[in-house]
Amino acid sequence: MNANTKKLHDLGQSLWVDAISRDMLVDGQLARYIADWSVTGLTSNPTIYEHAIGHGNAYDEAIARLTRSGESAEEIFFSLALDDLKAAADLFRPVFDVSQAIDGWVSLEVSPMLADNVETTIDAAAWLHEAADRPNLFIKIPGTPAGIQAIEESVFAGVHVNVTLLFSREQYLAAAEAYFKGIERRLAAGLDLNVSSVASLFVSRWDVAVRDDVAPAFYNRLGIAIAMRTYKAYRDLLASPRWQRLALAGARPQRLLWASTGSKDPAAPDTLYVNSLAAPDTINTIPENTLKAFADHGKVGAILPVDGGYAEAVLEEFRREGVDDEALAARLQREGIDSFAASWQVLLSRIHEKCATLVVADN
């Protein structure tokens, strides 16, 4: 067992890998992460799948078969992704069972083209939940205003939800409120409260966004401050009478997840956001390269303080530098949606290209 990753596991932080491909399933890499590096979950997104499907031939046979059966590019993608994520969910099932559903989760995202449409997001989440037919698979729904409405309805319907593309304390609190309301409605209706959720706060994109607008002394500080501030809000919610009532009735806490934790500054430590965000009852989902780096030379830093520590002081420094964190959070969320939508279009284009090429080859 890797000593660095085990330290995070032992302090109560789950380490999930932000990657999926058929190769890592077939060649045993994911199984080795689970066995040797304390990896207890997995996340995916359109950008990850665009790379996995578009760069290599691991999916070619399945794409050719699905093309011959008349599937559209989007239908082909979800068929491929569901096959992968069901296989990954089965690998993580022992972790899921031993942890009593705290860990062992995988995540699949609804189409990012639905980010502003409540009803179609609800329908897509329900369909994917049913098609996956795995107790340890989250459906990722973005925390946009429309997404927040869809999250409440999906949780009420019994869909396990990973709320993605959250960038601020306020966006996190909106996602938490949606989860609370969905669970409270289930309680009022006499339904089982065993519906899980995580809330994914994106960290490193903050530092990329302000890099050209602040002095070097401010580099790589804003994302961590935002995370610290959000962690305080998370701990406050878990301690609230409202949550305690739900917990006593059998509800599960919506866990806070750190996303976008690969360092994007070549001058910064490549494990910066893993070293800096150690905290119990949270999840850190990290890219493969960052996972490998942390296993090799990562250092677990001080555990995040439940009172937010120096976060507000740092944020005030950035405001004096002209950074409007509230406006920037809204911009980052929209840019995140646009980025995933662009990856989605490239992904579908690559599938179209492969369909045409493989059909020609078959003939």
Q: Are 197 and 155 in contact (CB under 8 A)?
A: yes
Alpha carbons 348 and 73: distance in angstroms, whole number: 6
Alpha carbons 252 and 102: distance in angstroms, whole number: 9
Residue of 86, 140, 264, 292 with catalytic role: 140
Which pair of tokens denotes residue 153?
């309805």
Which pair of tokens denotes residue 354?
């492969």
Residue 38: left (phi > 0), alpha (psi -120 to 50), or beta?
left
Cα-based angle 208, 213, 218 (whole degrees, multiple of 5): 70
The neighbouring-strand residues paired with 105 are 41
Provide the greatest CA pair distance for the chain.
66
Q: Tell me how far CA of residue 59 lies from CA of 28, 47, 89, 263, 280, in angstroms.
A: 17, 16, 19, 30, 38
Neighbour-count burial of 11, counting CB atoms closer than 10 A to its CB (0-12 exposed, 13-18 middle, 19+ buried): middle
- Among 199, 299, 305, 214, residue whose Cα is nearest residue 254: 199
Alpha carbons 221 and 244: distance in angstroms, whole number: 33
SS (H, E, C) 192-207: CCCCCEEEEEECHHHH
Q: Is 232 an annotated catalytic residue?
A: no
Catalytic sites, residue numbers? 140
